[in-house]
Structure 1
Amino acid sequence: MGGRRPRTGHDWKLLAESCTALLERLPELVDEHLRQLTEYSPVYGQVLPHDQQWREAEAAMRVGIQTLSAPRDSPRRDLEHAEDTGRRRAQQGLPLELLVHSYRAAGYLVWDALMEGAVGLAPERISMLMRSATMVWSAVDAQATAATEAYRATEAELRRRTDEQLQALLDALLEGQQSPGLAARAAAGLDLPEKGQYAVVVLRGERHDSRDTCSRPLVGAGLRFMWRMRADCEVGVVALDAGQGLDEVARLLDGRCQGPGGISPVVAGLAELGRARRLAELALRTCPPDARDVVRLDQRMPTALVVSQPELAGGLVADVFGALLELEPGDRAVLLETLDVWLACEGSAGRAAGRLYCHRNTVFNRLRRLEQLTSRSLARPRDLIEMTLALDAYRLPGVGR
């Protein structure tokens, strides 16, 4: 079985003559090519002005035709041109499918023109063109592949730059910058309403187990989160739809994130994200060191007031718990734990005793001792408020001790 006859120098000479003749028809081929493209999709005509599109198509087809008859060891100028075209089309926003189609369409047009030019010629010339079909379509495939790879690389780079720009806009909003047009640019880039309902979540950053992170996307209850990593925390912006509130945010975070963390109140617009971040950080500061919950500021307002005034908080602890602080650490811890549990049980000594694994009379005795040491009565509302706030301040790092 004989195989395909290799091309001879004479074959290359005949192909070069056919390509030279085809170059003389190039203007008419370019016109037809652009007509076919516009007929296939009007998007082609929207990417570039017609004159520029014509010039670029003429250059591409010229290089492609010249490549067909160039010596085998010649540089692939057609592939360099295809890569350049792929980069430009990605920057111009032409869909990749239309870019690939343009190369295929040009290939069909050139091949048909070559065959038309062979009509009435010697059989050897027609035979030579038929043997060149594989080479022609291989060249077209290589050009389309080069353009596609350059397109995708450029598209990825453009996406990365766009992401960085959007992240910078979001960071600027979270820092509270108020430059003109900042919120509007962020709204357009992030596809969010400039005036809408938003909340900010701040999660403490010293969590080294990657399973505890919320930087991965969170989906649920129709909420959209955007997360930013900081040196010591993660900051999330959540967009709320109509009818949604902080209950949905808290439920979703409780199921997906291991705290501690703070949730800001709802703010009305992207320009308010800086204030929301500060309030979320304040909510986080109300969490004791061993806390694992994500808490809402609107449910921690008394503690937040204490946290926001550390000097006064320290004075409150010293004034209320002064004598208590002089006890042995173990004795002091028992009394404060009893107060904490009693408050959590809404003043029920029986329920507190169940949690503390002791008799209810033991709870009463400990509370009476607390009243004696603090010179305050848990039955008086003002004294109870002072003791509750002092307990919050005492348990927060860097505030009450």
Structure 2
Amino acid sequence: MGARRPPTGHDWKLLAESCTTLLERVPELVDEHLGQLFDHSPVYARVLPYDQQWREAEEAIRIGIETISAPRDSPRRDLECAEDAGRRRARQGLPLDLLVHAYRNAGYLVWDALVAGTAGQKPDRLAALMRSATMVWSAVDAQAQAASEAYRATEAELRRRTDEQLQALLDALLEGKATPGLAARAAAGLDLPEHGPYAVVVLRAERREAAERPLRGAGFRFIWRMRADGEIGVVALSPGQGLDGVARALDGRCSGPGGISPVVPGLAELGQARRLAELALRTCPPDAASVVRLDQRMPTALVVSQPELADRLVSDVLGPLLELEPADRAVLLETLDVWLTCEGSAGRAAARLYCHRNTVFNRLRRLEQLTSRSLARPRDLIEMTLALDAYRLSGNRR
């Protein structure tokens, strides 16, 4: 804060007399002070009503003058007053530089008034005042510093509270709470449109990396929320924009797995979007490393949304395969998976599996025999495809 070192003896007596005389002019100094502040910036006039500012300035200047000539061991009322002012101005939204300027301006006025008060008097009075200059300006500096520190502390606390409030609003939206006015408050606080295209991204916690998440892309903006079980991103899209850009922005920035919801029409629907993004995430196998879109995984999403039926589907369709040796079973299921990925092309599947195309045909025929289903029949093919998804997503490797 800076130690106050008042003069002693004759100098202190002369300074105290000057300060006592100056106290009578405090109302005049306050008028001049506020006039100069308002000329410097119109922001001062918008902070508080003039009468309230006048009373606060009068108290601060009076206490400051009294402090200049107070004994060394006197309580620092000027610093207490400055700290209170710093906290008030932070809450009122006055920029910090204008707060510091106000203290400097008041210091100049008080010093000029002290000097003017010695004009025409004995030279020893002006000399004593000059010897006190360092102490006077140290007091002004200490006041400005005390006000600044209190201002910054209050500003940080206000920012923390605001962030917590906004996070609480966003969490409530993601939970799907139907509170009146919730979406409007969140829109105002987050600087987002209440109505407009949005999507939600959910990343699984155990695969989360420390890599920086994207915040913006071509026509969209991410807002990320950390949770114990994962990470959620709200995506504000431009009108008419799809999810391709979102998927590209996440590609390479997230190790996966993750899920992207379909587009919803506003903040009030974020709860639904979160649930759909979580469903998309559930379509990712345990060892997956990709972020997937629900609109591209609908059949699989139907499977994972009904766990009991998924288990029965696996048992009914793939039951005989589950009795095979694990290595044998894995070869057959991998062949089916690759053949489906290659859109039913045995040649392309063989190239991926590093085997002959006849080997692919033989494995597929064996699958048909074990499951009593034909890959040439659409309904059977659908059952086998969904059963394969259900088996892989269950993590069951019996």
Which one of 258, 263, 271 corresponds to residue 260 of structure 2? Answer: 263
2:87 partner amino acid: R
Contact 1:393/1:400, CA 8 A, preserved across alignment: no
Q: Using a 3 Å threshold, how does the CA distance of structure 1 residues 222 and 141 change in structure 2: closer, same or farther?
A: farther
Q: Supply the distance in 1 between the matched residues of 2:88 and 2:281 (Cα, whole angstroms).
A: 48
Deviation digits for residues 20-59 of structure 1 (CA, Å, limit 9, x no counterpart): 0000011111111111111111211211111111110000
1:242 partner amino acid: P
Q: Does 1:221 align with 2:218?
A: yes
Higher mean Cα deviation, 217-226 or 142-151? Answer: 217-226
Q: Supply the distance in 1 between the matched residues of 2:314 and 2:208 (Cα, whole angstroms).
A: 33
Contact 2:198/2:236, CA 8 A, preserved across alignment: yes
Contact 1:47/1:92, CA 8 A, preserved across alignment: yes
Q: Which residue of 2 aligns with 1:10?
A: 10
Q: Which residue of 2 aligns with 1:3?
A: none
Q: Which residue of 2 aligns with 1:346?
A: 343
Q: Does 1:234 align with 2:231?
A: yes
Q: Supply the distance in 2 between the matched residues of 1:8 and 1:59 (Cα, whole angstroms).
A: 26
2:367 partner amino acid: L
Contact 2:286/2:395, CA 8 A, preserved across alignment: no
Higher mean Cα deviation, 96-105 or 373-382? Answer: 373-382
Q: Supply the distance in 1 between the matched residues of 2:52 and 2:24 (Cα, whole angstroms).
A: 21
Q: Does 1:370 align with 2:389?
A: no
1:390 partner amino acid: A
Q: Which residue of 2 aligns with 1:158?
A: 158
Q: Does 1:23 align with 2:20?
A: no
Q: Which residue of 1 aligns with 2:382?
A: 385
Which one of 247, 252, 262 corresponds to residue 249 of structure 2? Answer: 252
Q: Supply the distance in 2 between the matched residues of 1:175 and 1:105 (Cα, whole angstroms).
A: 52
Unpaired stretches in structure 2, ≥5 consecutive residues: 1-5
Post-superposition offset of 1:279: 0.0
1:96-107 → structure 2 map (5 Å cutoff): 96-107=96-107
Deviation digits for residues 207-256 of structure 1 (CA, Å, limit 9, x no counterpart): 36534xx5x55333343211112221111111112343210110111121
1:55 partner amino acid: R
Q: Tell me the secondary structure at the aligned position of residue 200 of structure 1.
A: strand
Q: Supply the distance in 2 between the matched residues of 1:267 and 1:36 (Cα, whole angstroms).
A: 54
Q: Supply the distance in 1 between the matched residues of 2:56 and 2:140 (Cα, whole angstroms).
A: 17
Q: Using a 3 Å threshold, how does the CA distance of structure 1 residues 193 and 209 change in structure 2: closer, same or farther?
A: closer
Q: Tell me the secondary structure at the aligned position of residue 287 of structure 2.
A: coil
Q: Tell me the secondary structure at the aligned position of residue 207 of structure 2.
A: coil
Q: Does 1:42 align with 2:42?
A: yes
Q: Supply the distance in 2 between the matched residues of 1:218 and 1:115 (Cα, whole angstroms).
A: 57
Which one of 296, 307, 310 corresponds to residue 307 of structure 2? Answer: 310
Q: Which residue of 2 aligns with 1:188?
A: 188
Q: Supply the distance in 2 between the matched residues of 1:242 and 1:202 (Cα, whole angstroms).
A: 22
Contact 2:373/2:380, CA 8 A, preserved across alignment: yes
1:105-124 → structure 2 map (5 Å cutoff): 105-124=105-124
Q: Which residue of 2 aligns with 1:210?
A: 210
Q: Supply the distance in 2 between the matched residues of 1:45 and 1:356 (Cα, whole angstroms).
A: 77
Contact 1:314/1:399, CA 8 A, preserved across alignment: no
Q: Supply the distance in 2 between the matched residues of 1:194 and 1:208 (Cα, whole angstroms).
A: 30
1:29-68 → structure 2 map (5 Å cutoff): 29-68=29-68
Deviation digits for residues 3-35 of structure 1 (CA, Å, limit 9, x no counterpart): xxx944110000000000000011111111111
Contact 2:258/2:291, CA 8 A, preserved across alignment: yes
Contact 1:342/1:349, CA 8 A, preserved across alignment: yes
How many residues in Structure 1 have an aligned counterpart in Structure 2? 393
Q: Supply the distance in 2 between the matched residues of 1:384 and 1:209 (Cα, whole angstroms).
A: 38
Contact 2:280/2:297, CA 8 A, preserved across alignment: yes
1:142 partner amino acid: A
Q: Tell me the secondary structure at the aligned position of residue 259 of structure 1.
A: coil
Post-superposition offset of 1:139: 1.1
Contact 1:302/1:389, CA 8 A, preserved across alignment: yes
Identity of aligned residues (%): 82
Q: Tell me the secondary structure at the aligned position of residue 233 of structure 2.
A: strand
TM-score normalized by structure 1? 0.95
1:319 partner amino acid: D
Q: Supply the distance in 2 between the matched residues of 1:312 and 1:271 (Cα, whole angstroms).
A: 32
Q: Supply the distance in 2 between the matched residues of 1:57 and 1:192 (Cα, whole angstroms).
A: 39
Q: Supply the distance in 2 between the matched residues of 1:285 and 1:400 (Cα, whole angstroms).
A: 18
